[in-house]
Amino acid sequence: MSNQDNILYCEQFPLANKYDPKWIIENQMGPNPIWLTEFLIQAFELRPGMRVLDIGCGKGVTSVFLAREFGVQVYAVDLWDSPDGKWQLAKEQGVENLIIPIHADARKLPCAEGFFDAIISIDSYFYFGTDDLYRKYINK
């Protein structure tokens, strides 16, 4: 697809430009999640094999992006969207070996303390992170 054909083309996000705009629009649950994720990951390094918690991942677009672009193992957690849908999306995008879809409340994660190498939340932290105790909980 040429830059002229991509309605979501943005020079600032070369990784995001590789994704089909129709696929992004059909699966997003807010502003372009791949742009937001690509912007965020400029602040830290992701390496293949890292365990990444993607909290509030919705349909899993950000999880697919992280798995495909960085080769990280993504734990795709969302309370409102089906893990079946995230699993189907992962299979369609060829990253089912890197994505673990989980249906859980971000305030009650079934994970060991210190298990994740990185934790991200794209356009969803305000749903659960405003709890006064959440920051202490998630920083374990």
Contact 36, 65 (CB under 8 A): no
For 112, other C-beta atoms within 10 Å of its C-beta total: 8
Residue 38 resides in a domain: yes
**For 59-86, how does the pLDDT look when each residue is reduced to its tens digit (9 = 90+)?**
999 999 999 999 999 999 998 888 999 9
Backbone angles phi, psi at 29, to 5 degrees: -125, 20
Residue 8 resides in a domain: no
**For 101-140, how does the pLDDT look when each residue is reduced to its tens digit (9 = 90+)?**
999 988 888 778 889 999 999 987 666 767 676 556 566 6
**pTM score, whole prediction:** 0.78
Residue 1 resides in a domain: no
Backbone angles phi, psi at 85, to 5 degrees: -65, -40
What are the structure tokens assigned to 48, written together? 């293949």
CA 97 to chain CA centroid, Å, is 15
The enclosing domain of 90 has a CATH number of 3.40.50.150
Residues present in the chain in total: 140
Residue 6 resides in a domain: no
